[in-house]
Structure 1
Amino acid sequence: MSAIVPTSGRASGTRRDNISKKEGNMRIIKSVAALALLGWTTMASAHFVWLEPAGENKVRAYFGEWADDQREKTEGFLGKVVVEPSVNGKKVKPSATGADYFEFEARGDTRLGQPVLFKETLVDYNARLGRTDTKALLPLEIAPTAAGGNTFVLTFEGKPLAKTEVTVFGPPKWMKQFHTDEAGKFTIETPWAGQYVLEAGHTVEKNGQHDGKPFTKTRFVTTLTFERAK
């Protein structure tokens, strides 16, 4: 009579191996998700929204890094950020969509606002096209002190923001940092014809909720785009 070899031990070991593999896979999935979230949050804090003219009475909104010619895709990060923007104070939908932009109908100096929640930080993206209007209407805005001029004032909630860094990007992908004075003003030079983008940020430690989700601080990011004619 042949001996009967017990199999329960081998089966139990196999089950343990399968469980260990599943747990390992779950840890990998969670790690990948955590890295993706970290990358998304880091990228979002570094990028900004800016506007460009797109023909008569039309503007295009981009998200990325202007100086690096990096424009996020509408099916990617752009579509996650510019989801329900306010254009000149009104909630609107794009009139057209491209691979890396949303297009809106607008006239004159145009302003766009879009708050987005990233973990516990609310990032309020503000963007403006044109330097004719001297008024500041966005939460954080760069406005000219005179129509078409090179002296600007940075305002936060309608008040000048002093001693704040402003980055100016120029046509040859040139970049220079400026700082506002006690009156929130700064003056730049525009030696080249073409497009200029001015960018500034301001963080406020304040609790609140956005779409029912809590946040502990708000990061305001603003840009101003304008063209210097030849």
Structure 2
Amino acid sequence: MKKMLLATLLLGLSTTAQAHEVWIERDGAGPARIYLGEPAEAMPQGGDPEFAKLKAPKLLSAPGARLERKAGYLEAALPAGDVRAWDDNVFAPWGEPGKQESVVYYARAGRTETRAALPFEFVPAKAGSDRFRLIRDGKPVAATEVTVIAPDKATQKLTTDAKGEIAVPVTGKGRYLLTAALKDEGAHSTPAGPVAVLHRITTISFLAS
């Protein structure tokens, strides 16, 4: 009975970790807001139930920036431009000893820069473009599913082409969000110790006007 209960709890954690995303929202040059949750769903009042686990994402452009905890997101005043962050310490590893899994999140807001700065990132084909390339360690990632979340929370599944690219169907004003995931099997180091599987989840949000 105890083993069954443990297996159920671990399965629930695995589902939660892989269903959640970390994403960033920014309006113009205003403060950046960093979320943990399910972006295709309405945000619960006060934030996602797992939000407390998002403690200290690393900001690339301003690593020393102060993060202020708000109701459902972390807020930081940052220099103008695209914002990037990553976090490999949100959820503790799950699974059986020797077969444990973990997750690392990458997030970006904005589409003005045409370079990748994160290990796993969406990059616009040109500044302001609706066409994006999915990049892993400097190389395009082909034949990978991308979920597009429209301003009204409607979702659409696309697949990157041979160049790792997709064209986002922008049909109206508002904030769009893209998300993709990779599963790396093999020995990986995490802040909580070694794991056998590392899930990588990346997002980008941008405003269409």
Same fold, TM-score > 0.5, yes or no: yes
**Which residue in the other structure is 1:118 paired with?**
93
- Corresponding residue SS for 1:207: strand
- Quick check: 1:88 aligned with 2:60? yes
Displacement of 1:146 in angstroms is 0.4
Name which of structure 1's ranges 160-169 and 61-70 shifts more when overlaid on structure 2. Answer: 61-70
The amino acid that maps onto 1:86 is: K
Distance 2:42 2:65 in 1: 25
The one-letter code of the counterpart of 2:155 is M
Q: Does the residue aligned with 2:35 lie in a helix, a strand or coil?
A: strand
Relative to 1, partners in 2 of residues 1:55 and 1:151: Cα closer, same or farther, differing over 3 Å?
closer
Give the one of 42, 45, 65 matched to 2:18: 45
Aligned residue among 181, 185, 200 for 1:201: 181
State the shift of 1:40 in Å.
2.7
Residue of structure 2 equivalent to 1:12: none
Which has more helix, going by share of residues?
Answer: 1
Aligned-pair CA distance for 1:70: 3.3
Unaligned 5+ segments in structure 2 are 95-99
Q: 1:140 to 1:71 in 2, by over 3 A?
A: farther
- Supply the distance in 1 between the matched residues of 2:44 and 2:64 (Cα, whole angstroms): 22
Shift of 1:187: 0.9
1:95 Cα deviation after fit? 3.1
Structure 1: give runs of 5+ residues left out of the alignment.
Answer: 1-26
Q: Once the 2 structures are TM-superposed, how far is the Cα of residue 122 of structure 1 from its aligned partner?
A: 2.3
Which position in structure 2 is the counterpart of 1:223? 203
2:35 corresponds to which residue?
62
CA distance in structure 1 between the aligned counterparts of 2:62 and 2:186, rounded to whole angstroms = 25
- Normalised by the length of structure 2, the TM-score is 0.85
Measure, in 2, the Cα distance between the counterparts of 1:114 and 1:72.
Answer: 24
Does 2:194 match 1:214?
Answer: yes
1:104 to 59, 76, 82: 76
User: Is the 1:64–1:72 Cα contact (8 Å) retained in structure 2?
Assistant: no
Residue-by-residue CA offset, 1:164-184 (whole Å, 9 max, x unaligned): 111101012211111111111
Q: What is the CA distance between 1:44 and its match in structure 2?
A: 1.1
Give the counterpart letter for 1:156 in structure 2.
R
Query: Judging changes above 3 Å, is the alpha-carbon distance between structure 1 residues 32 and 106 closer, same or farther for their aligned structure 2 residues?
Result: farther
DSSP 3-state at the match of 2:186: coil
Equivalent of 1:182, from 162, 165, 189? Answer: 162
Give 3-state SS (helix, strand or coil) of 1:118's partner. Answer: coil
Q: Structure 1 length normalisation: TM-score?
A: 0.78
User: Compared with structure 1, are the counterparts of its residues 180 and 214 closer, same or farther at alpha carbon in structure 2 (3 Å cutoff)?
Assistant: same
For the Cα contact (< 8 Å) 1:128–1:224, is it kept in 2?
A: yes
The offset of 1:226, in angstroms, is 0.4
Give the letter aligned to residue 95 of structure 1: L
Indicate the SS of the match to 1:68. coil
Inter-CA distance 39–94: structure 2 relative to 1 (3 Å threshold): farther
> For this pair of structures, how many residues does the alignment match?
201
Q: Within 2, Cα distance between the matches of 1:189 and 1:147? A: 17
Taking only the aligned residue pairs, the percentage that are identical comes to 33
Q: CA deviation at 1:94?
A: 4.4
Which structure would you say has the larger RCO, counting Cα contacts within 8 Å and 6 or more residues apart? 2
Q: Provide Cα deviations, 1:52-94, integer angstroms capped at 9, x if missing partner.
A: 12674411111111121135967952221x2231101664464
CA contact (8 A) 1:54 1:60 kept: no
